[in-house]
């Protein structure tokens, strides 16, 4: 008795014996090797490309001779002529086993391929989309054995793809009969694999082999901006990214003013719901047009947002979130259909909303947890998502705590005399010369610093318009390091500080950043009231983090991750000089960029991650700062601005303060002071 | 050790020992006794009424003393004062066990009570609705342990009612927070128990105890009329029944002309879909107003219809049903949301469509099977649903066969010279005097026969307008029995027949039924062409039945059931005289009334029946008449009109024909000839 040839797949190492003539795709399926195919081995889709290896494989104990696979055939030749096959590649459905062989499945031929993330410290995304394409040949109707077209289609999908008994969207019932006949009983189906709310379903049917792709949206629905990534659901690639202002801004800059708008105006909440959905649809039009795709090819969408946006987007009046006990309508994840939310993507498209953690800690924080995974960190990690409210996670493999801290909108440039949203013209980077005590800065939309040639020209029409959130943080930190402001937060006079930019301004002093009045522009200053606002905001943030540390029973953390669109722009050093975050070695303070958006993308591309984050959120310990006396204590103690060196002698005298106690001193790193602020990976 | 008192429930016979002080409702729940409650034992809903029995029970071996239950209490007194409790009744949640007791659960206190059907030969409906009301007290939000209001509501429903982890409709999320607070954390929920498409869900929330009912619709969507029963989902009662003309009639009287309209006109199918949905909504407004209820209390709806209406209602172009191989888009049952079909009932209401059996044998035939249960009949039963197409079922416990036979619209009064739809003014009952050979008749809308006093006055404004389907069948059968028409279908002359109503009409003879020309009314006659149309129609029907008998391998059936709104009006005797149906003893031919509508009502009230009919339909053997040569053979042989007595000697001579061979003779029952036609139970 002769033995059938041995087929070994790499990288999985799976192996088995197969009769001569077995297609590689068939062998892969029987062994459960992850080899892609949309057409089911009919030589149409070319997704099952593999690379045979020849020679001796000591690890596997086989020698592969040329001729171990069948000869290159006409189907492969045709595909190569039209689209080109990479050198050494074969189509797994065409190449058949002739002798022992080692076959490599390249990453792009794997269904559950890894989508690589740029940051070294985080996990790649394993592709596991909700919806996939399947090509099938359907039995024609037969009067001797009458059955519905759908039933024969479902039978074909079960037979060829081992899919369960599928249901069909009403839209599928309406379009399927035409597609089946136009495609001569060959069709491509988009199949949603089901979740806890929906049974597995056929969502769309195309006649013949659909030579296109289907897409998903990962949407970060912020109070100020709505940002979306459009992803190819087959390979996980981001094909377009786009953002717009949240049209709800006309109802209030910050969340609490929107909640109030809803309470003060009959139908106000409904108005805001309509506004955000309209904005969303405008964004979808924009992003689809950018990618050059038809919006109806968007079959899945994942949304992350804070609780107020979550409720407003779903059409739930958020008034309960504006008052204790801050009760969410629902904290669980939601699975809906696009049509229920009036979204102009494919009407059968699914919408997944991540779970909320608590009344102040939303699905955006859950998304940050999904991206940054404090629950699997061996180190104790503090993750801070800085926005109007700071959402804070602290944890490691042992447990994860979460809270929200009412920082107010100062970090977003609001309630600051020259503050503005992050937009072209806003000052975002500042350095103050320790000798001359004069500032230099850079504004959004330009790479030229204010003391460099061509600065004004580089700004275009916007000019210098104000200071955005990251700008004000750098300014205050730089002012503290340059001895212009003291620990309790008072700006010194020109005499006290030796800075020509300090000037008396009523009963306190202000500091001039930029005087554009000569060119008809604004005069941009930092007032002592601005300093006070930042002190309040940073104290709130710090106190939230400290509270979690108390609850965890620690007084230091191993590392700090700054998340949020805003977090992406803060320089960690300035944040620490300001005392926004507890002490940590500076190289252990990293920016995660828009981690909430990344979390949305993970949940979009990997449905297994949805169950995972739902489970994680259930296990997170929620701490409500409003009812924790320790929070108030920390807050009172945290308003000082730490620095290694006290500035002007008239207030305190020159003293060196200990490095570790942030609230009275700090880790100001004079050597790094001139380091150019960097943008985190967004 | 003393033994706890024994509690025995009747009629179930379930028994158990319970500590003194145990409420009867609690004991019932622990034993799995079917005792209703909406409020969960809080003395609010009064659904748990029971009747204690006193005295000696030899069957159970116990003697029940007065005082076996706790004393009548203030909750019971209050309910009795306000609403009245029937004599001897107690509230199961208030009365507690004090000693051995026998407790009867009256029918109206059972959740799964039997809804009695009037006909002796069919099963009652076991109440098992999709949606029920549950009252719960929900834990208030707690900042120390934040969770969504929904999660606490779901927890309460699980704790008090043992319901699974429920999801919530988006509408529930939108209204729930207000309801919870308005009801001071007590609410009543409508919960859908789930099906293969939808997970169990909360559909609606009312503040406090909702002292009302929820409803369901059983809709028979016919080509000509749409009829609906509005049922109380808690007790199964029909609270209103109503019907309207199908507004699609303007696109064509019969189904095939509507299919053609869709093919000939761009957007024609969509137009018809809109028309039928609008008509449906008008009907719902009408029926809800008749019952005096709010339409949003309608939480479930079941639809039965033929395949063309099925497709048009769902928005599927029915063109494939107009041509071989008559492929349905889907044959399976469907579960949808009302909002998907633009139905103006509660937006979260569910819509259930029964499965179709085949391209010509629709969900209406499935509903007939559910009502008449050929699959559980020991006798071999032939069920005929007579409409534009006749749908025929033949079967017993061994197997069930089904086919559809193209009778055409003659049975509905179309293509008949004086034919019309069944509406006021239409002749529906006819008798021809065997001696004088003159007719008397009755029209819809009047109980007075045409030869009785006050006949014309009884008609009101309509007058006599034409002949409806049941009328034309009776006329032809009566003409045959009176010797006015012969077996092959020729009307004799006045001389041949001795009837003054026969007159020459072109190359053949016609028969005058009514001459209203003196009063400006119509002259209503039966032409030989009309006879021919009826012959074609009845031959088609008979051939379909014969074909199924061939396939079953029998040449007679044990009983015949005539179904359909039209079937309800046919007199079985006339149908047999005409040779519409195979021979059977006349007392074995019954009318099932609108069996399709009854099937819809069963599926509405008993969700278990849905799974049952889906299974039955899968097992039914479908026979396509169009491809069966035997059907054509039978058809050719079946056009003669049988009768015991041949009429006029000039054609054949007076001969008695054998009773059994329907195509040449029949079972005309002269003794029953004057029997007044009856309306079947509708």
Residue A125, classed as helix, strand or coil, is strand
pLDDT in tens, B485-495: 998 999 999 99
CB pair distance less than 8 Å for B173 and A332: no
Whether B168 and A330 lie within 8 Å, measured CB to CB: yes
Are A275 and A358 in contact by the 8 Å Cβ rule? The answer is no
Q: Name the phi and psi angles at B251, rounded to 5.
A: -95, 0
How high is the ipTM of this complex?
A: 0.85
Is residue A558 packed enough to be buried (19+ CB in 10 Å), middle (13-18) or exposed (0-12)? Answer: middle
Interface of B with A in 587-626 (CB under 8 A): 622, 624, 626
Is the pLDDT at B120 greater than 80? The verdict is no
Instruction: For B171-191, write each residue's pLDDT tens digit.
Output: 999 999 999 999 999 999 999
**Closest to A101 measured CA to CA, from A67, A72, A59:** A67
CB-nearest to B327 from A141, A622, A627 is A141
d(CA A88, CA A109): 14
The rounded mean pLDDT for chain B is: 89
For chain B positions 290-319, those within 8 Å of chain A (CB to CB) are 314-317
Question: What residues does A303 pair with on adjacent strands?
Answer: A219, A353
CA distance A420 to A443: 12
Contact status of A356 with chain B (Cβ, < 8 Å): yes
* Contact state of B627 with A326 under an 8 Å Cβ cutoff: no
Arithmetic mean of pLDDT, A90-95? 95
- CB-nearest to A336 from B147, B151, B170 is B170
Out of B168, B170, B325, closest to residue A143 by CB:
B325
Query: Are A283 and A242 within 8 A, CB to CB?
Result: yes
Considering only A4-18, A133-147, A317-331, B624-638, which range has the smallest mean pLDDT?
B624-638
User: Taking CA atoms, what residue in A is nearest to B315?
Assistant: A174
Tell if the CB–CB gap between B148 and A176 is shorter than 8 Å.
no
Indicate the residue of A167, A356, A622 with minimum beta-carbon distance to B197.
A167
CB contact B151 to A (< 8 Å) = yes
| Interaxial angle between packed helices A268-291 and A255-264, expressed in degrees from 0 to 180 and rounded to the nearest 10 | 130
Calculate how close chain B gets to A325, using CA atoms only, in Å.
Answer: 6
- Please report, rounded to a whole number, the percentage of residues in chain B having pLDDT higher than 70: 93
- Tell which B residues from 182 to 211 touch A, by Cβ distance under 8 Å: 196-197, 199
Q: Which residues in chain B are closer than 8 Å to A150, comparing Cβ atoms?
A: 329-332
Mark yes or no for CB contact B331/A626 under 8 Å.
no
B166 contacts on A by Cβ (under 8 Å): none
Q: Do B332 and A197 touch (CB under 8 A)?
A: no
CB B204 within 8 A of CB B233: no
Average pLDDT of chain A, as a whole number: 89
Task: Tell me how far CA of residue A164 lies from CA of A157, A174, A389, B332, B395, in angstroms.
Answer: 8, 22, 45, 15, 32
Q: Number of C-alpha atoms within 13 angstroms, CB side, residue B106? A: 18
Which residue stretches of B265-362 are H helix?
268-291, 307-314
Nearest CA among A239, A231, A10, A9 for reference residue A127: A231
- Most confident region among A106-120, A574-588, B600-614 by mean pLDDT: B600-614
Query: What chain B residue is nearest to A628 in terms of C-alpha separation?
Result: B144
Q: What are phi and psi of B232, to 5 degrees?
A: -75, 120
How far is B429 from B449, CA to CA, in rounded Å?
Answer: 9
Interface-testing mutation among A138, A141, A142, A143, with chain B (most B C-beta atoms within 10 A): A143
Give the orientation angle of helix B268-291 with respect to helix B255-264, to 10 degrees: 130
Distance, in Å, from the CA atom of B377 to the CA atom of B123, rounded to the nearest integer, reads 11
Buried b (16+ CB within 10 A) or exposed e, A3-35: eebbbbbbebebbbebeeebbbbbbbbebebeb
Q: Does the pLDDT of residue B243 top 80, yes or no?
A: yes
Mark yes or no for CB contact A356/B148 under 8 Å.
yes
The CA distance from A602 to B445, in Å, is 69
Contacts of A289 (CB under 8 A, 6+ apart): none
For residue A643, the model assigns a pLDDT of 63
- Closest chain A residue by Cα to residue B358: A146
Q: Is B550 on the interface with A (CB under 8 A)?
A: no
Query: For a pLDDT cut of 70, what percent of chain A falls above it?
Result: 93
pLDDT in tens, B179-235: 999 999 999 999 999 998 889 999 999 999 999 999 999 999 988 889 999 999 999
CB A356 within 8 A of CB A321: no
A314-334 pLDDT, tens digit each: 999 999 998 889 999 999 999
- Quick check: A359 contacting B, CB < 8 Å? yes
Contacts of A251 (CB under 8 A, 6+ apart): A257, A258, A261, A268, A271, A272, A275
- Coil, helix or strand at residue A480: helix
Q: Does A332 touch chain B (CB under 8 A)?
A: yes
How close A421 gets to chain B, by Cα (Å)? Answer: 32
Strands (E), A195-321: 201-207, 215-221, 225-232, 238-245, 298-305
Residue of A nearest to B307 (CA): A148
The pTM (predicted TM-score) of the whole model is 0.85
The DSSP code for A606 is B
Q: Cα B674 to the chain's mean position, in Å?
A: 30
- Band of pLDDT at residue A58, cut at 50, 70 and 90: confident
Note the pLDDT tens digit of each residue in B612-634.
999 999 999 999 888 889 998 99
Stretch 86-145 of chain A: residues touching chain B, C-beta under 8 Å: 140-145
Contact A472, A412 (CB under 8 A): no
Residue B322 touches partner A, C-beta closer than 8 Å: no
Q: Residues B155-170: pLDDT tens digits? A: 999 999 999 999 999 9
Report DSSP letters for A36-77, one per residue: --SSSSSSSS-TTEEEEE-EEETTTTEEEPTTSBPPP-HHHH
Residues in chain A: 682
pLDDT tens digits, A150-201: 999 999 999 999 999 999 999 999 999 999 999 999 999 999 999 988 899 9
Q: Nearest-CA residue of chain B relative to A339? A: B340
Contact B397, B444 (CB under 8 A): no
Answer whether A272's CB lies under 8 Å from A262's CB.
yes
């Amino acid at each position: 008795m002769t033995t059938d040839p041995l087929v070994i797949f790499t990288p999985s190492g799976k192996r088995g014996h197969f009769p001569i003539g077995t297609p590689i795709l068939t062998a892969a399926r029987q062994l459960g090797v992850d080899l892609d195919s949309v057409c089911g081995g009919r030589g149409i889709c070319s997704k099952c490309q593999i690379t045979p290896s020849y020679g001796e494989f000591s690890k596997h104990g086989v020698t592969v001779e040329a001729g171990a696979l069948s000869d290159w055939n006409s189907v492969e030749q045709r595909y190569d002529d039209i689209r080109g096959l990479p050198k050494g590649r074969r189509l797994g459905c065409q190449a058949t086993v002739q002798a022992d062989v080692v076959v490599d499945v390249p990453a792009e031929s794997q269904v559950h391929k890894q989508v690589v993330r740029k940051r070294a410290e985080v996990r790649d995304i394993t592709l596991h989309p909700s919806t996939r394409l399947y090509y099938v040949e359907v039995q024609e109707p037969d009067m001797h054995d009458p059955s519905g077209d759908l039933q024969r289609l479902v039978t074909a999908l079960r037979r060829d793809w081992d899919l369960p008994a599928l249901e069909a969207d009403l839209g599928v019932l309406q379009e399927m009969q035409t597609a089946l006949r136009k495609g001569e009983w060959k069709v491509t189906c988009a199949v949603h694999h089901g979740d806890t709310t929906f049974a597995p379903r056929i969502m769309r049917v195309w006649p013949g082999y659909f030579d296109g792709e289907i897409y998903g949206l990962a949407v970060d629905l912020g109070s100020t901006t709505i940002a979306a990534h459009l992803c190819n659901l087959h390979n996980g690639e981001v094909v377009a990214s786009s953002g717009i202002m949240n049209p709800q801004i006309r109802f209030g800059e910050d969340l609490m003013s929107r909640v109030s708008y809803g309470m003060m105006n009959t139908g106000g909440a409904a108005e805001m719901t309509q506004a955000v959905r309209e904005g969303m649809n405008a964004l979808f039009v924009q992003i689809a047009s950018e990618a050059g795709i038809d919006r109806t090819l968007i079959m899945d969408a994942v949304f992350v947002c804070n609780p107020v946006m979550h409720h407003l987007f779903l059409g739930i009046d958020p008034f309960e979130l504006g008052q204790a006990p801050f009760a969410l309508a629902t904290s669980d994840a939601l699975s809906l259909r696009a049509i229920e939310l009036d979204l102009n993507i494919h009407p059968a498209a699914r919408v997944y909303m991540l779970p909320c953690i608590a009344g102040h800690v939303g699905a955006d924080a859950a998304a940050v947890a999904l991206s940054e995974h404090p629950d699997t960190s061996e180190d104790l990690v503090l993750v801070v998502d800085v926005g109007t409210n700071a959402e804070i996670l602290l944890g490691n493999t042992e447990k994860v705590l979460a809270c929200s801290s009412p920082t107010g909108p100062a970090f977003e440039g609001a309630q600051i005399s020259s503050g503005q949203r992050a937009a072209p013209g806003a000052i975002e980077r500042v350095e103050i010369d320790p000798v001359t005590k004069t500032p230099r800065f850079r504004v959004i939309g330009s790479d030229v610093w204010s003391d460099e040639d061509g600065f004004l020209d580089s700004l275009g029409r916007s000019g210098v318009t104000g200071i955005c959130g990251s700008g004000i943080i750098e300014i205050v930190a730089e002012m503290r390091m340059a001895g212009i402001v003291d620990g309790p937060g008072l700006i010194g006079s020109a005499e006290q500080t030796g800075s020509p930019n300090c000037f008396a301004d009523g009963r306190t002093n202000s500091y001039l950043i930029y005087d554009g009045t000569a060119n008809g522009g604004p005069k941009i200053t930092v007032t002592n009231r601005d300093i006070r606002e930042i002190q309040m905001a940073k104290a709130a943030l710090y106190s939230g983090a400290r509270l979690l540390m108390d609850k965890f029973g620690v007084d230091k953390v191993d590392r700090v991750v700054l998340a949020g669109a805003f977090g992406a722009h803060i320089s960690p050093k300035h944040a620490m000089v300001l005392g926004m975050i507890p002490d940590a070695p500076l190289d252990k303070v990293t920016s995660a960029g828009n981690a909430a958006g990344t979390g949305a993308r993970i949940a979009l591309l990997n449905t297994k991650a949805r169950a995972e984050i739902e489970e994680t959120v259930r296990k997170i310990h929620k701490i409500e700062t409003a009812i924790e006396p320790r929070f108030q204590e920390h807050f009172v103690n945290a308003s000082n601005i730490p620095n290694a060196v006290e500035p002007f002698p008239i207030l305190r005298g020159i003293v060196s303060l200990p490095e570790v106690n942030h609230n009275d001193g700090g880790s100001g790193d004079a050597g790094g002071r001139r380091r150019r602020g960097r943008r985190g990976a967004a």
